[in-house]
């Protein structure tokens, strides 16, 4: 395995890794360990070149630091991205990648993210102790817990606005989006769903009586709640005007391309539930299981409701976007950690 250290201001460690014997290539970023070891999933995606992959891993690992801080967890933020390409020998690649994670000796704990399957994680498990897999006794389903957290966040948004009989558009029916659809359908919410994989959309229509919509119009469909559960950066300054939802609350990491896009939403009176606040369910379970050895995290995941209420209330009071309030609260906790001298080397 070839490792190339990349110096990025503000990041603890960024590495480009490559193993040409199996086609493994990617980046691993440990953003911050002030509050504890870095936790974050591993993503596999068709990146066209190094530059967007590096940009993705940097944004995602930083968001993990903020997510952990806001959720008051004893961990920092990290992430890894792997290039998906035809020459990738998947089993050998995840075995080698597991060795890399193991070599970090617990500074980085990982789990699922976009494109990574349970089989991939089980393969990693053969070479590293620092990966969360569904079969870990007592861990539970992290995707399901992420969806549960999004649901708590969404409930808080609905209670905050007083909107009833919501119609929810879900963009992306992967591990989290499909689990969220199941929860919302059981609650009697009207659902419209979009996925670039037509089979997944058809499954949701069959199982949850959801209306299938074209992915191209998912963001601009009139609805109560838009739940982006695919990739990040979907709401930009250039398209925020097209949003017709009253609330945005979904699992995707980095839903906003910029804080200014969040300001635009606030000006249009569209309530944005900060992504890393509401999608923290899986991280909460992972951290409490791995680091605190807690048998159950339902109460902690349920606290996403109260924290969302707190952020929305502060945002309203100060007339700034909830995204900025979430950042402020997370940064305050990190500053506290810095000043108390807590850091994991």
Residues binding ligand NAI (CB under 6 A):
112-115, 142-143, 146, 171-177, 194-197, 200, 215, 229-232, 251-253, 279, 282
Closest to ligand NAI by CB, 30 or 39: 39
102 phi and psi angles, rounded to 5 deg: -60, -35
Burial track 216-244 (b if 16+ CB lie within 10 A, e otherwise): eebbebebbbbbbbbbbbbbeeeebeebe
Smallest gap from residue 234 Cβ to ligand NAI (A): 8
Cα–Cα dist 108/21, whole Å: 24
- Write down the catalytic residue from 12, 79, 125, 316: 79
Q: Residue 79 catalytic?
A: yes
DSSP-based helix, strand, coil % in the chain, nearest 5: 45, 20, 35
Strand pairing class (211-212; 190-194) = parallel
> How many CB atoms neighbour CB 105 within 10 A?
10
User: Would you say 37 and 108 are in contact if contact means Cβ atoms under 8 Å apart?
Assistant: yes
The residue at minimum Cβ distance from ligand NAI is 174
* In the complex, least distance from residue 290 CB atom to ligand NAI, rounded to whole angstroms: 14
CB of 36 to ligand NAI, least distance (A): 18
Rounded least distance, CB 316 to ligand NAI, Å? 26
CB closer to ligand NAI, 19 vs 157: 157
DSSP per residue over 105-130, as a string?
TTSEEB-B-TT--HHHHHHHHTT-SS
Q: Which residues are catalytic?
A: 79
């Amino acid at each position: 395995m070839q490792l190339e250290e990349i110096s990025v201001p503000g990041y603890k460690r960024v590495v480009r890794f490559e193993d040409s014997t199996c086609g493994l290539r990617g980046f691993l970023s440990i953003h911050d360990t002030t509050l504890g070891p870095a936790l974050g999933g591993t993503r596999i995606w068709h990146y066209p070149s190094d530059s967007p992959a590096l940009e993705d891993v940097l944004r995602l690992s930083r968001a993990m630091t903020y997510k952990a801080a806001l959720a008051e967890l004893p961990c920092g933020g990290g992430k890894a991205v792997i290039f998906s390409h035809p020459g990738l020998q998947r089993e050998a690649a995840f075995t080698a990648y597991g060795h890399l994670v193991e070599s970090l000796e617990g500074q980085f704990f990982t789990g699922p993210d976009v494109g990574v399957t349970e089989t991939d994680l089980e393969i990693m498990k053969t070479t590293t102790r620092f990966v969360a897999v569904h079969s870990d006794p007592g861990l539970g389903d992290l995707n399901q817990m992420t969806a549960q957290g999004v649901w708590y966040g969404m409930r808080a948004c609905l209670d905050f606005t007083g909107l009833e009989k919501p119609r929810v558009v879900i963009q992306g029916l992967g591990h989290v989006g499909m689990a969220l659809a199941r929860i919302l359908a059981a609650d009697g919410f009207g659902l419209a769903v979009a996925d670039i994989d037509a089979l997944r959309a058809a499954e949701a229509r069959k199982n949850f009586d959801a209306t299938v919509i074209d992915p191209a119009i998912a963001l601009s469909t009139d609805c109560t709640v838009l739940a982006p559960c695919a990739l990040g950066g979907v709401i930009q300054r250039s398209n925020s005007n097209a949003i017709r939802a009253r609330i945005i609350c979904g699992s995707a990491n980095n839903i906003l391309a910029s804080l200014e896009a969040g300001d635009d939403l606030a000006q249009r009176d569209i309530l944005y539930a900060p992504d890393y606040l509401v999608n923290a369910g899986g991280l909460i379970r992972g951290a409490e299981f791995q680091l605190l050895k807690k048998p159950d995290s339902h109460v902690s995941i349920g606290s996403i409701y109260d924290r969302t209420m707190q952020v929305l209330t502060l945002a309203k009071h100060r007339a700034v976007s909830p995204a900025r309030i979430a950042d402020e609260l997370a940064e305050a906790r990190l500053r506290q950690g810095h000043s108390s001298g807590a850091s994991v080397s």
